Chains A and B, each alone.
Chain A
Amino acid sequence: MEILFYVFSFIAIFSALMVVTMRNPLTSALYLILCFFAIAGFYIILNMQFLAVMQILVYAGAIMVLVVLVIMLLNLSDIKSFKSNLHQVFIGILISVIMFAEIFFYISKGIQKKPVGIFTHALIKKIGNTQIIGEFLFTKYIFPFEIASILLFVAIIGAYLFAKKKF
């Protein structure tokens, strides 16, 4: 398990770095898909197979296809990268590093909180993670769930309006 974690970590971070550094958006997109797969791997390690599947279906499947489609549509692959402002790149890197350092320190200070819930690995394994999520989603979280559906609906209309020829 430890080995798997490190492998996935390496893949995820490496591909993430590739996403932000690649000049060609299409290459970036492909690395992003790789990154998503790595994250799905994490989910599996964490006993959330359902989420892992969702991750691949929704992100790698739906969203990334959409992105690639747009890249193709706009024919962006041959538009070379825009002139990047060195100044800005420097500040961006600086801030990111600072942010990471801060988070890192914060985490390594350690959060000594004991588990509070009842959903131990054993229980999740026993009931099955899909069933648990499903039960929660359709009982306790039914209202946000419905709202989410409305949000998607709105998004569809919005996207349609934006992409329309004339406003």
Chain B
Amino acid sequence: MDYKVLITWLIPLLPLSGWLLWGLFGKYFKGYSGYFASLFVAASFILSVILFIIVSYSHGFTSTLYPWIHAANFKVGISAVIDRLSVVMLVMVTGVSTIVHVYSIGYMKGDKGFSRYFSFLNLFVFSMIMLVISNNLLLLYVFWEAVGFCSYILIGFWYEKKSASDAGKKAFIVNRVGDVGFAIGIFLLFATTGTLNYEAVFKMIPMIPVFTTTVIALLLFVGAIGKSAQLPLHIWLPDAMEGPTPVSALIHAATMVTAGIYMIARFHIIFSYSPVASEVVLTIGTLSAFFAAFIALTQFDIKRIIAYSTISQLGYMFMAVGIGSYTAGIFHLISHAIFKGLLFLTAGSVMHALAGELDLRKMGGLYSKMKVTAITFIVGALALSGIPPFSGFFSKDAILADTYNKGFYFAWVIGELAAFMTAFYIFRLIFLAFFGKSNLDSKVHAHESSKMMTIPLIIMASLAVIVGFLGVPPFNTSIFYNFLHVDFKNAYNFSPFVENAPWYLLSLVSVLAGLSGIFAAYLLYIRKVVMPEWLKSAFKPIYALSYNKLYVDEIYDFLIIKPLFVLFNFLWKIVDVSVIDGAVNGVASSFAFFSVKVKKIQNGMLMSYILTLSIGVAALLFYYFIR
């Protein structure tokens, strides 16, 4: 076997074997399964880096492990495509996974499901790797669902808690709604092109009618909405924070939720040939970016704030891919993976220190008690707010600049507004949690976390600083752009540049938006120029809207879930039991009714039997007579 192929397949197989090992023999490894699991993933990471180097100095390739489903003219294999896009994603996925694995060893220490946890985590890494390297839509769909399942099982990891298992179930089902759209898209694609292989599909796309392409693209996008938690299917992500925090960092910030962006980037040909679908992507992305940030303004649960922030940042990425700036989208994906992962991990560290406390109102003044955590958190927050020289600045700015230059001014304005709100809510969190008066529960003894947890934080924080420089503005000339753009050069250029505003002016606007957000938070929560309570009462309807998350859950509950359950009960109790079974039993009981009548004839009197018999004989004779 070619060594490239070997490396390619070793990358997913290492975590897969890890899953089997810890899953089946977890109890024999005791506390060491975490170390081994991290080692396996780290090995995958190293191999990914090697593959990255190979690909950047040569060209991509595809490789088939074995034929999976061959039925009539439907042929799909377990096969991988290795090109620049997939190696970038591979390095990101395995890298973040490695860090999170190491962090988890400290975080999950002493949990009775230790091995189980690492087993599932490895399974997730396997699925995610396969998702990014798969070479056909079916395989993509398979691991698309598989990561959803891992998310289900990891969110509901502490299954005794009803809220946790509820959240897992909700995540799975909402994801499934998206997946159904995705699946139908695949069906339509197969019905039109007759194949599911990427290359073959992409060759066909320019030849099929735009309308069909649009429908396919929109259906695929439904899957992305579900997986990447965009409006209106975002409801599962905040609830998913019931899971262990490293899981939130890995799955619900860095990797799985970005699958939607990866998918659109991967299928950029389909999307670029359908401007309408791209518009929809842009719209949904913009709305999500804005409204999620809006909701995050007033939340008090730190993980939920970060979760809404994730939705918002994913919205930015969708904006990018919606305007055809795929490279910028992927760049933001990478930098977001790092700084959002960092934010979650630090939030986990805070939680760990405070024995699981998540409510902002019960924190405060933590800076003095846990310096490393606080500083790394602030680094992450600065990156999120888009303050140079942190990575978020470069990546977010690349997106917003493209939005402006391609003429989507409205989206640009919303984007800048959201950037302001982003900076505000994340620094509100910082000021409330790390500074100011301590509102801690007296029983809780806050302390810095162990080395096992802080070292990953430091690594992530330094990455958050470094990675940004891969995309030094102007983005179109940066290293990252030059590396990745090769893969997108076949895209149909549906939105050419219409403006050419200088990059530094646009950057200035973004930075100002971020800084003003931070300043506003500073004024409100540190200097207390205006009391937040006053604002709350002054803008009561808006506050309520934000605090109650736009009432989306309630609307779904009222409009969909409750009527459906009424329908279900109706179908069962009325239609099934009464109508159908009633009809059947009706036939049966009508027989019973007649037999009660008829059995009177059977009165035991021999004479009447004989009489009946002779009437019958007479009748028979009569029949012969008239015949």
CA distance A103 to B624 in the complex (A): 10
Residues of A within 8 A of B607 (CB): 85, 88
Q: A88-B607, A88-B611 are in contact. Are A95 and B621 (CB under 8 A)?
A: no
A106 near B625 (CB under 8 angstroms)?
yes
Chain A CB within 8 A of B622 CB: yes
Q: Is B618 an interface residue (CB 8 A)?
A: yes
Total residues of chain B contacting the partner, CB 8 A: 10
- Determine if B618 and A98 form an interchain contact, defined as CB atoms under 8 angstroms apart: yes
Contacts of B614 in A (CB 8 A): 95, 99
Q: A95-B618, A98-B618, A99-B617 are in contact. Are A106 and B611 (CB under 8 A)?
A: no
B625 proximity list for chain A (CB < 8 A): 102, 105-106
Q: How far is the CA of A66 from the CA of B573 in the complex (A)?
A: 70
Give the chain B neighbours of A105 by CB distance below 8 A. 625
Contact with B along A85-104 (1 / 0, CB 8 A): 10010011001001100110
CB distance from B140 to the nearest CB of A (A): 82
Binary per-residue interface labels of chain B (37-56) against chain A in the complex, 1 for a CB within 8 Å, 0 otherwise: 00000000000000000000
**How far, in angstroms, from A99 to B619 measured CA to CA in the complex?**
9
Docked pose: A85 CA to B614 CA in angstroms: 17
Closest-by-CB residue of B relative to A99 is: B618
Closest to B624 in A: A106
Q: Would you call B615 and A102 a contact (CB within 8 A)?
A: no
- Cα A99 to Cα B618 with chains together (Å): 5
Residue from the set A85, A91, A102, A103 with the largest chain B CB neighbour count within 10 Å: A102
For window 58-85 of A, CB contacts with B under 8 Å fall at 85
With an 8 Å Cβ cutoff, the count of chain A residues facing the other chain is 11
Using Cβ atoms and an 8 Å threshold, which residues of chain B touch A88? 607, 611
CB distance from B476 to the nearest CB of A (A): 110
Render B603-627 as a binary contact track against A, CB cut-off 8 A, 1 for contact: 0000100010011011001101100
- In the complex, the answer to whether B621 meets A106 with C-beta atoms within 8 Å is yes
A125 to chain B, nearest CB (A): 35
Within the complex, the shortest CB–CB distance from B612 to chain A, in Å, comes to 10
Q: Compute how far the CA of A88 lies from the CA of B611 in the bound complex, rounded to whole angstroms.
A: 9
Structural contact, B615 and A95, CB atoms closer than 8 A: yes
Instruction: Out of A91, A92, A102, name the residue touching B622 (CB < 8 Å).
Output: A102
Tell me how far the C-beta of A103 lies from the nearest C-beta in chain B, rounded to whole angstroms.
7
Bound together, the chains give a CA A137 to CA B615 distance in angstroms of 36
Collect the chain A residues with CB atoms within 8 Å of residue B611's CB: 88, 91-92, 95
**Bound: A103/B618 CA distance, A:** 9
Could you name 12 residue pairs across A and B whose Cβ atoms are closer than 8 Å?
A85-B607, A88-B611, A95-B615, A95-B618, A98-B618, A99-B617, A99-B618, A99-B621, A102-B622, A103-B621, A105-B625, A106-B621
List the 4 closest A-B pairs by CB distance, nearest first.
Answer: A102-B621, A99-B618, A95-B614, A98-B618
Residues of A at the B interface (CB closer than 8 Å) are 85, 88, 91-92, 95, 98-99, 102-103, 105-106
List 15 other contacts, CB 8 Å, given A95-B618, A102-B618.
A85-B607, A88-B611, A92-B611, A95-B611, A95-B614, A98-B618, A99-B614, A99-B618, A99-B621, A102-B622, A102-B625, A103-B621, A105-B625, A106-B621, A106-B625
